[in-house]
Amino acid sequence: MALNYRDAAVQMIFDQFQSLCRQYNSFTATLSPQQQADFGNEWAELSSGLEIIQEAFGNYQQDLANGRSSAAALADLSRVLNEATRVWLQQFNATVSQARVGW
């Protein structure tokens, strides 16, 4: 999703999120065939989680289109991203541990 945000802060956050997505995809490419097979559902759920988190950026744009101030929309975006990525990272760490990645 290539978005062009007027707000430099949101653009920076979006770019960092896209970097996280690329890093996750690069990480999963390094998994052994056994790790991919045994934990395929978990890796797919994590990937889907990133797609769901990305929807927050669309919600931000919709807030602006609905006349909400950029400060309020950014505050909500930040809150949603903080919580969602915290939960995603917990699941990622649990899956990495279960799959014994790096052991």
Q: Would residue 31 count as lying in a domain?
A: no
| Residue 72 lies inside a defined structural domain of this protein | yes
Q: What is 20-83 written as a DSSP string? A: HHHHHHHHHHTS-HHHHHHTHHHHHHHHHHHHHHHHHHHHHHHHHHTT--HHHHHHHHHHHHHH
Q: How far is CA 92 from CA 43, 59, 69, 75, in A?
A: 8, 24, 34, 25
Mean pLDDT by 10 residues, the chain (103 residues): 66 95 97 94 98 97 95 94 98 95 80
Q: How far is residue 75's CA from residue 93's CA, in Å, rounded to a whole number? A: 27
CA dist 37 → 13, 41, 50, 79, 99 (Å): 33, 8, 20, 34, 10
Q: Give how far Cα 80 sits from Cα of 52, 59, 97, 103, Å.
A: 11, 10, 26, 33
Q: Let me know if residue 94 belongs to a domain.
A: yes
What is residue 6's predicted lDDT score, i.e. its pLDDT? 62
In a domain, 92, yes or no: yes
Domain for residue 19, yes or no? no
Domain count across the chain: 1
Q: Does 4 map to a domain?
A: no
- For residue 22, being part of any structural domain is answered with no
Task: Tell me, rounded to whole angstroms, the distance of Cα 88 from its chain centroid.
Answer: 8
pTM above 0.95? Answer: no
Residues in the chain: 103
- Residue at 30 is within a domain: no
Residue 58 lies in domain? 36-103
